[in-house]
Amino acid sequence: MSAPAVVAESVTRRFADVVALDDVSFDVRAGELFGFVGPDGGGKTTLFRILVTLLLADSGRASVLGLDVARDLWAIRRKVGYMPGRFSLYPDLSVEENLQFFASVFGTTVEAGMPTIAPIYDQLAPFATRRAGALSGGMKQKLALSCALVHHPEILFLDEPTTGVDAVSRREFWDLLADLRGRGLTIVVSTPYMDEAGRCDRVALIQRGRLLGVDEPAAVARSFSGAVLEVRSRERYRALLALRAFEHTDTVHLFGEWLHYTDRRAGNGIAADVVAHLRTNGIVADVTPIAPTIEDTFIQRMGAPEAA
Amino acid sequence: MRRLLYLSWVEVLHVVRDRASLAQLLLVPFIQLVILANAATFAIHDTPAAIVDLDATAASRALSQRFAASPHFRIIGGPRSVAGADEALRSGEATMVLAIPRGFERALVRGEGARVQVQLNAEKGSAAGIVQSYAQRIIARFGAERGEREGTAPALRRIDVQTRGWYNTELDYRQYMVPGILVALVTLVGTLFTAQNIAREKELGTLEQLNVTPISRAEFIAAKLLPFWVLGMAELTLGLGLGAAVFGMPVRGSLLLLLGVAAVYLVAALGIGLLISTAVDTQQQAMFVTFFIMMIYLLMSGLYTPVDSMPGWVRMAAEANPVKHFVEVTRAVLIKGAGAAEIAKPVGMLGAFAAGFFGLAVWRYRKTA
C-alpha cells in the first residue's frame, strides 16, 4: 500500500477552557472512505478545520498527502477538496456560476473539471441556470460536492454533508461517494448518523474530543461486549421508563420502532427476566437477542467513561 | 490576473442581483445629491420679520421698505406695538423684529445718530448670526446713503469696506457644497459596500470554503476592492458631470487630475471598509462600525464646518482623516483651479492612507485562525 493520506499524531486543540480535541491520533489510508461518527459538539468540525489548514492545533502534528498542515498549507490547499458543514455557496449565483467561480478560484475551468464531476453534475444539469438559493437541500449538497471536486482534488473532506437532507437524497449522496471512492479518491467524511457509518471502509467514533476507537464498521459492531436485546412492545415509551428504573439495566434506548437493551449481568435467562420485569409493570413485551449494530457499540462506548 | 477579474466580476453579479444594493449604489447618491445640494446651503431667504414702526415718518418707512425689498426677509403684517412684536417672536411667527423708535427721522436729520433695535430668535445659533448680518448690512447701507445725500455727516466719512470672495465671488454655497457632498456620498456608499462584503461571506459560510483554496490574501482583498473602485470612479465621474451641468459647479482645474487623485483616494476609502469587514462577524456589525467611523470622518472633514476653527487636537486628528484631504483637493482643483504642485501634500497623504489601509486589510484578513 502507498503512504497514508492523512496522519494525525496526538492532535490537541482547546477553545478557552473547552478541550475540543484531546490527544487524537489516527491515519487514513490512500483510497479509503473514512468516516468520523459522533454527536454534535464532539470535535468533528474542529478536526476537519485543522486538517484543511483553517485552524492550528495547540499541540500534536497532522499531515495530509504527506504535507504538514501547519507548514505546507498552500500546497495542501491546491490538493484538497473541502465541503464545510454549512451550505456555503452563493445563493444569488446560478448553479453554473457557482461551479465556474470555484473552478476559477483554483485556476482551472469547468470543462477541465468535467470528467471528475460529470456523474454528479449530470443530475444538476437541468437546473444549470437556476440560482443556488432556490435548489432543494439534496441538490444543494450535490452542487457543493461538484464545487469541491471541480479542481481534481486528491483527497476530499466532507463535514456532515448530509445533515438536514432527506433520506432519499442522503442515500443518493452516499452512492455518489461510493462511486468517487471506486475511482480512487480518498474521502474523509463526518456524520452524526449511525446508519451512514456502515457505508465507510473504516469509522472512527469521536465524542467530547476523544477518539473512542477506529475500525471497520462490521468490526466495530462485533466489538460490542455482551448481548443486545430487542424489546418489542406496543407501549414503547412506558417500557423505556420501566427499564430505566430496572436495577440490572446497563443501557436502554429507542432504536427505530423498538428498544435496544443491554444488561449489566452476563449469562442466560436475561431475556426472560426482562419480560418478567416489564410484566410486573403491566407491560406486555416480546424480548429477543439480536446482533449488535454500530450504534449499540457506540452507545455502549459513549456510556462507559461516564459510568466509570 | 484572470482569476482576479473573474472574482471581481462575481462581486458585480452580487450587487446587480440584489435590487436593494443596486438602488443603494446607483440611485441613492444622485437623489441625495439633488436634495442635499439644494438644501445644504448657508444662505437664508425669506426670514419672517416683523417691523414695529413707532416713528411713522418718511425715513422710517424708507428703512422698512429696504427690508421688504430684500430677498432675505419677508415682512409679516401686523404688530403695531413692542408688546405685539415680542409675542410674534415668542410664537415663532417672526424670527426677527426691527423696532424703529419715535424720533428716528429727527435724529437722522439733525445728524445726532439714530438708533434702531433688532431682536432675533437665536434658537438656531448660526442661522441667527447670518440673519443678523443681513439686517446690519441693510441698516448700515441705509444710514450711509442718507448721510451722503443729506450731507449731514461729512465729518464721519465712513470707511467703505468692499469685500470680494476669491474663487467664489458670489460666495455661492452650492459651488462650495456640491463637490463636498459628492465626496461624502461616494465615500459613504463605497465604504459601506466593502465593509459589508467580507462580513457577508462570513455569514454565508463561503469564506470558510474560499479559505481552503490557493487564492492569496492580497489577491482576495484586491478582488473585493476592484469592482467597487470601478463603480466609485464611475459614480464620481458622473456626479462631477451632473454637478457641472445641473448645479453650475465650477470646474476650474483639471478634471483628469482630480480623477487621478480620486483613484488613490478610493483605494483608501474602500480599504477602510475592507478593514472593518475583516474585523467584524456580521453585516449588521459592519454597518454600525461604518456609520460610526463615517460620522466622525465626515464631521471632521471640513465639509460642513471648517477644520481650521476646531481645537488644536481635533485639527491634529483630522490629519489622519482621508476624507478631509480629499475634500481639500476637490475644492482646490474645482474652485481654485489648483494644479498638481499645489495639492502635492494632501495627495501624498492620500497615497499613504491608500497603501496603509489596503495593507492593513490584507494583514488583518487571515486564512488561518
With CB atoms and an 8 Å threshold, state whether B209 touches A55. Answer: no
Question: What is residue A305's predicted lDDT score, i.e. its pLDDT?
Answer: 43
- B228 shares its domain with B318: yes
- B36 shares its domain with B88: no
The kind and range of the H/E element at B53 are strand B47-53
Identify which of A86, A147, A148 has the shortest CB distance to residue B205: A86
With CB atoms and an 8 Å threshold, state whether A54 touches B212. Answer: yes
Q: Is A101 on the interface with B (CB under 8 A)?
A: yes
Query: A32 Cβ partners below 8 Å, 6+ apart?
Result: A5, A181, A186, A187, A201, A202
- B232 shares its domain with B308: yes
- For residue B161, being part of any structural domain is answered with no
- B175 shares its domain with B32: yes
Q: Is A104 on the interface with B (CB under 8 A)?
A: yes
Identify which of A74, A90, A102 has the shortest CB distance to residue B204: A90
Which of B118, B134, B156 is a domain's end point?
B156
- From the candidate CATH numbers 3.40.50.1240, 3.90.550.10, 1.10.1740.10, 3.40.50.300, the one assigned to the domain spanning A6-221: 3.40.50.300
Identify which of B10, B14, B213 has the shortest CB distance to residue A106: B213
Q: Which residue numbers in chain A have pLDDT < 50?
A: 305-308
- B128 shares its domain with B251: no
- For residue B295, being part of any structural domain is answered with yes
ipTM of the complex: 0.74
- B150 shares its domain with B179: no
- For residue B104, being part of any structural domain is answered with yes
Domain ranges within chain A, ordered by starting residue: 6-221, 226-291
Identify which of B6, B18, B211 has the shortest CB distance to residue A54: B211
- B33 shares its domain with B53: no
- B200 shares its domain with B345: yes
- For residue B163, being part of any structural domain is answered with no
**CA dist., res. B47 & res. A129, Å (int):** 61
Query: B251 Cβ partners below 8 Å, 6+ apart?
Result: B240, B244, B334
Q: How many structural domains compose chain B?
A: 2
Query: Chain B 11-30, CB below 8 Å of chain A: which residues?
Result: 13-14, 17-18
With CB atoms and an 8 Å threshold, state whether B6 touches A78. Answer: no
- B225 shares its domain with B337: yes
- Residue B72 sits in a domain whose CATH number is 3.40.1710.10
- B81 shares its domain with B228: no
Domain that holds residue B136: 47-156
- For residue B23, being part of any structural domain is answered with yes
With CB atoms and an 8 Å threshold, state whether B10 touches A90. Answer: yes
- B63 shares its domain with B124: yes
Percent of chain A at pLDDT > 70 equals: 97
Q: Which residue numbers in chain B have pLDDT < 70?
A: 36-43, 78-79, 150-175, 367-369
- For residue B179, being part of any structural domain is answered with yes
Question: Helix B217-246 crosses helix B255-279 at what angle (to 10 degrees)?
Answer: 140
- From the candidate CATH numbers 1.10.275.10, 3.40.1170.60, 3.40.960.10, 3.30.70.100, the one assigned to the domain spanning A226-291: 3.30.70.100
Number of neighbouring beta carbons within 10 Å of residue A238: 15
Contacts of B208 in chain A (CB under 8 A): 54, 84, 86, 88
- B113 shares its domain with B200: no
